[in-house]
Structure 1
Amino acid sequence: MSNAKWRKLFRIVNDSHLGLKNCIWKLVGEDEPKHGFVPDDEQLGENYVGDCGALNGPFEFKKIEWLKLPNRVGYKPYENAPTQYKTQDLSIIIEQLCTIGSFEIDIDSEGVTIYGYKA
């Protein structure tokens, strides 16, 4: 996927006001997906994403194999607390992605996966 399309995607997510904080990044050359956060506009360069927890530093858009926006995110409000869950309605993001261009996406019970490269 092009750099411009990734920037459009992140603009849609940030403009949705859903407050999506967590996402899962799968980067080319990395064996395991990594939990991180959705970058805001200030963290996006012309051809890179600033530090968002996926590689502990900036990386180029072309390294993104896929990105998952989860429907449900678990968190602990304090240490030793039981895990609590926040659910997110991603339908507005899906609808907007479908109107602005052709994005390779999969929707399942866990959330929405947006592909840079699909095997």
Structure 2
Amino acid sequence: MKRDSNTLDKLITANRFVPLMSNTKWVKLLHLLVENATLISECRVKLIWEQGAAERRLVFDENTSYRFDYYDTAMEAMVTGTPRGWYEYKEIEWLDFPRVTNTGEMAQDVKAIQRQIESIGRFRLALEEGNLRLYAYQRP
């Protein structure tokens, strides 16, 4: 799929996705995630143009910085998988913070992550099946 801004806008409109996040909220959220990087051992990413379960990860640590790794409308090299590179925030359907990671070795405190996210604003969050999910879009 071609991933330019017009194509993404058409995909969002065609699927009647209702945006729940603005670029400003994404930047605020990323600031929080970076500040709490030691609390978060894994964050999965689902892109709107991909089918099926999320196999991608959001990659960051305490050294990830605004205007170097992420910007006002997009992030660079923070999402795993192919294609690698820039992702606009509007490409992200949801983020998952699993209680138990794919390796099964680490567990993260999803309730603590939820409290941190709720401390900076209103987000659509769902705690289910051992995951904390943050929705960027509402599906019809």
TM range (shorter): 0.7 to 0.9
1: distance between equivalents of 2:109 and 2:90?
Answer: 28
SS of match in other structure, 2:50? coil
Question: Where does the alignment leave 5 or more consecutive residues of structure 1 unmatched?
Answer: 76-83
Identity of aligned residues (%): 26
1:68, distance to aligned residue in structure 2 (A): 0.6
Which structure's residues are more often strand, by fraction?
Answer: 1
1:26, distance to aligned residue in structure 2 (A): 1.0
Alignment pair present for 1:63 and 2:83: no
Cα deviation code 1:34-68 (max 9, x no counterpart) = 22133333421111021220442211001111111
CA RMSD of aligned residues (A): 1.9
Contact in 1 for aligned 2:126/2:132 (Cα 8 Å): yes
SS of match in other structure, 2:114? helix
**Runs (4+) off by over 4 Å:** none
Contact in 1 for aligned 2:39/2:109 (Cα 8 Å): no
After TM superposition, the score normalised by the length of structure 1 is 0.79
After TM superposition, the score normalised by the length of structure 2 is 0.69
Higher RCO by CA contacts (8 Å cutoff, separation 6 or greater): 2
Choose which of 105, 111, 114 in structure 2 pairs with 1:91: 111
SS of match in other structure, 1:4? helix
Structure-2 residue corresponding to 1:35? 56
User: How many residue pairs are counted as aligned between the two chains?
Assistant: 111
Larger mean CA deviation between 91-100 and 16-25 belongs to: 16-25
Contact in 2 for aligned 1:68/1:111 (Cα 8 Å): yes
Question: Where does the alignment leave 5 or more consecutive residues of structure 2 unmatched?
Answer: 1-20
Q: How does 1:44-59 map to 2 (within 5 A)?
A: 44-51=70-77, 52-54=79-81, 55-59=83-87
